[in-house]
Amino acid sequence: MASPSLIIEELQKQPNWFARKMRDLPVVPIAILSIILFAAIFAPLISPHDPEFMTLADRNAKPFWYDNSTGKFPLGADALGRDILSRIIYGTRISLLVSFVAIVTGVVIGGTLGMIAGYLGSHIDEFIMRLCDISLAIPYILIALVAVIIFGQSIPVLLAILAFSTWSAFARQIRGETLVLKELDYVALAKVAGASQFRILVRHIFPGVVNTIIVIATLRVGAVIMFEAILSYLGAGIPPPTPSWGSMVSDGRDYLPTAWWIAFFPGLAIFLTVTALNFLGDWLRDKLDPRLRQSV
Amino acid sequence: MLLFVIRRALYTIFSLIAATAIVFFLSRAQGDPRNVLITGYFSQEIWEAWGESMGLDKPLIVQYLIWLKNACLGDFGTSINAARPARDLIMDRIPATLQLAGVSWILSFVIGIPLGVLSAVRRASFWDYFARIFALIGQALPPFWLGLMLILIFSVQFDLFPAGTRGGPLHYVLPCITLAWTAASGNVRLMRSAMLEVLDSEFVKLARAKGAGNSRVIWKHAARNALIAPLTYSGLILAAFMAGTVVTETVFAWPGIGRLAVDSVMQTDFPVMTGVVLMLTAIYLVVAFAIDICYALIDPRIRIS
Q: At what angle do helices B170-199 and B228-251 cross, to 10 degrees?
A: 160
CATH number at residue A147: 1.10.3720.10
> Residue A168: which domain range?
75-295
With respect to residue A200, please indicate whether it lies within any of the assigned structural domains: yes
With respect to residue A101, please indicate whether it lies within any of the assigned structural domains: yes
Per-block mean pLDDT, blocks of 10 residues, chain A (296 long): 56 58 72 88 81 75 73 76 85 88 91 90 86 80 80 83 87 86 86 86 86 84 88 83 85 83 88 89 76 52
Instruction: Give per-residue pLDDT as tens, B284-293.
Output: 788 778 877 7
Task: Please give the pLDDT value at position A296.
Answer: 44
Task: Please give the pLDDT value at position B57.
Answer: 67
- B-chain residue closest to A18, CA distance: B124
Number of domain units in chain A:
1
- Can you name the residues that pair with B78 across neighbouring β-strands? B85
Q: Is A278 on the interface with B (CB under 8 A)?
A: yes
- A-chain residue closest to B149, CA distance: A264
Mutate to test the interface with B, among A131, A293, A296 (most CBs of B within 10 A): A296
Q: Does B58 score more than 80 pLDDT? A: no
Task: Please give the pLDDT value at position A104.
Answer: 92
With respect to residue A53, please indicate whether it lies within any of the assigned structural domains: no
A42 vs chain B: nearest CA distance in angstroms? 26
Instruction: Give per-residue pLDDT as tens, B223-241.
Output: 877 787 787 777 778 767 8
With respect to residue A15, please indicate whether it lies within any of the assigned structural domains: no
With respect to residue A203, please indicate whether it lies within any of the assigned structural domains: yes
Asked if A139's CB is within 8 angstroms of B19's CB, the reply is yes
In Å, how far are A27, B66, B86, B115, B230 from A282, measured between CA atoms? 13, 48, 45, 19, 18
Task: Please give the pLDDT value at position B18.
Answer: 81
Task: Please give the pLDDT value at position A105.
Answer: 92
Instruction: Give per-residue pLDDT as tens, B103-160.
Output: 888 898 899 888 988 888 888 788 888 888 898 888 888 888 998 888 888 888 787 7
- A-chain residue closest to B258, CA distance: A142
In angstroms, rounded to a whole number, what is the distance separating the alpha carbons of residues B204 and B220?
A: 10
Q: Is B9 on the interface with A (CB under 8 A)?
A: no
ipTM at complex level: 0.80
Cis before A241? omega within 30 = yes
In angstroms, rounded to a whole number, what is the distance separating the alpha carbons of residues A138 and A88?
A: 31
Q: Do A281 and A222 touch, CB atoms closer than 8 A?
A: yes
Mutate to test the interface with B, among A126, A146, A282, A292 (most CBs of B within 10 A): A146
Coil, strand, or helix at residue B56? coil
**Which one-letter amino acid corresponds to residue A199?**
R
**Which whole number is the average pLDDT over B95-99?**
86
Q: Is B253 on the interface with A (CB under 8 A)?
A: no
With respect to residue A84, please indicate whether it lies within any of the assigned structural domains: yes
For chain B, first and last CA: distance in Å?
Answer: 11
Instruction: Give per-residue pLDDT as tens, A256-269.
Output: 888 888 888 888 99
Most confident residue range from A161-165, B51-55, B84-88: A161-165
In Å, how far are A59, A88, A271, B92, B271 from A85, measured between CA atoms? 14, 5, 16, 43, 42
Task: Please give the pLDDT value at position A51.
Answer: 77
Asked if B148's CB is within 8 angstroms of A150's CB, the reply is no
For the entire predicted model, the pTM comes to 0.82
With respect to residue A142, please indicate whether it lies within any of the assigned structural domains: yes
Instruction: Give per-residue pLDDT as tens, B254-271.
Output: 888 888 888 887 777 777
Asked if B149's CB is within 8 angstroms of A264's CB, the reply is yes
Instruction: Give per-residue pLDDT as tens, B195-211.
Output: 888 888 888 888 888 88
CA B79 to chain CA mean position, Å: 24
Three-class DSSP labels, chain A? CCCHHHHHHHHHHCCCHHHHHHHHCCHHHHHHHHHHHHHHHCHHHHCCCCCCCCCHHHCCCCCCCCCCCCCCCCCCECCCCCEHHHHHHHHHHHHHHHHHHHHHHHHHHHHHHHHHHHHHCHHHHHHHHHHHHHHHHCCHHHHHHHHHHHHCCCHHHHHHHHHHHHHHHHHHHHHHHHHHHCCCHHHHHHHHCCCCHHHHHHHHHHHHHHHHHHHHHHHHHHHHHHHHHHHHHCCCCCCCCCCCHHHHHHHHHHHCCCCCHHHHHHHHHHHHHHHHHHHHHHHHHHHHCHHHHHCC
